[in-house]
Amino acid sequence: MNPAPGATRRLPAEWEPQSGVQITWPHAGTDWGPRLETVEPVFAAIAAAITRRESLLVVCQGADHQRHVHAHLARCGADLARVQTGIAPADDTWARDHGPITVIEHGQPRLLDFEFNGWGRKFPSDRDNLLTRNLAEQGCFGGTPVEPVDLVLEGGSIESDGTGTILTTSRCLLTPTRNPGRSREAIERQLRAELGAERILWLEHGHLEGDDTDGHIDTLARFCDPATIAHAHCGDADDPQHAELALMADELGRLRTAQGTPYALVPLPLPAGIHADGQRLPATYANFLVLNEAVLVPIYGDPADTVALERLGAAFADRSVTGIDCRELIRQGGSLHCLTMQFPFGVLPQ
């Protein structure tokens, strides 16, 4: 359903006040199965950091899984008073892409349930595609209305400055395995209608080796405020990722804010290559999560961790910046932001 004529709708920025964050806990039926003992502590560390600032919605697979998750959260010092759980079958754990996207309409939150097809039918996704509907039926989102949208769109593929500008990549949104037959113009019209976007800024370049998402923006370039963009940067001319990221930086340098001024750019160095099974993994510091009064940044046991934390600390001077070791997460091709979906104030019960 499109907004009614004259309705005011916008996609809030991640730094606006939040009611909480959703994560989908790993289980034996996901690709994490063989590594649950090493990856669950990372999920628990993220969960504990979230509950220090706001509520947490954890998607579990059943009553036994729910008890297992609560035990993990208790051991890691999470504030269990801020934790709620929902039961919904899940193919995987990437809540950024199978969770709902919240817009604000007439001052009230509204959850958009876009179609999810496993990043262009690369992976099973039928259960993930029904996850938001299942959670809504359990009352996990309180009285917030949920609106199905006939468009394949992942939360990791769009960035909002909160004032009407959406940043995205053509490599992802125009992949024919997502919305076959829909042109750039048709997709842009729908983004304007569904998200209340006034401007769509398309990046044509930017690529990380090992990326399964076709170029999600949240691995490449992120708004820190309406006039600042942090982005992945490769300073090694011999790195095969250098050329594409340099072209992306040039594109970002040519973009203008709604007021017509250049964006302040914050380059985030890449860590040294991390490999698994002979393939480089898409490790990036751009996959950070903004919370109330804090920013959680993925780190990888690399000297570049310190540089990224310092630069993001300066970009988010009003928030504490905390690193979370995400070396286990990146083994499955994603990182901290990919695992989480934030909800603006008014969605999750407090």
The catalytic residue positions are 338
Residue written as token pair 């040039």: 250
DSSP characters over 108-167: EEEEEEEE--HHHHTS--HHHHTHHHHHHHTTTTTT--EEEEEEE--GGGEEE-SSSEEE
221, amino acid identity: A
HSE of 199, CA atoms in CB hemisphere, 13 A: 16
Whole-angstrom distance, CA of residue 184 vs CA of residue 190: 10
Tokens of 149: 């949208």
Residue 300 DSSP class = -
DSSP characters over 17-76: -EEEEEEE---TTSTTGGGHHHHHHHHHHHHHHHHTTSEEEEEESSHHHHHHHHHHHHHT
Kindly give, in sequence order, each residue whose CB lies less than 8 Å from that of residue 33, ignoring residues fewer than 6 positions away: 26, 27
Closest CA to 14 of 197, 211, 230, 223: 223
| CB contact at 8 A, 330 and 300 | yes
Cβ atoms within 10 A of the Cβ of 142, count? 13
Whole-angstrom distance, CA of residue 190 vs CA of residue 130: 22
Question: How, if at all, do strands 228-233 and 221-225 pair?
Answer: antiparallel
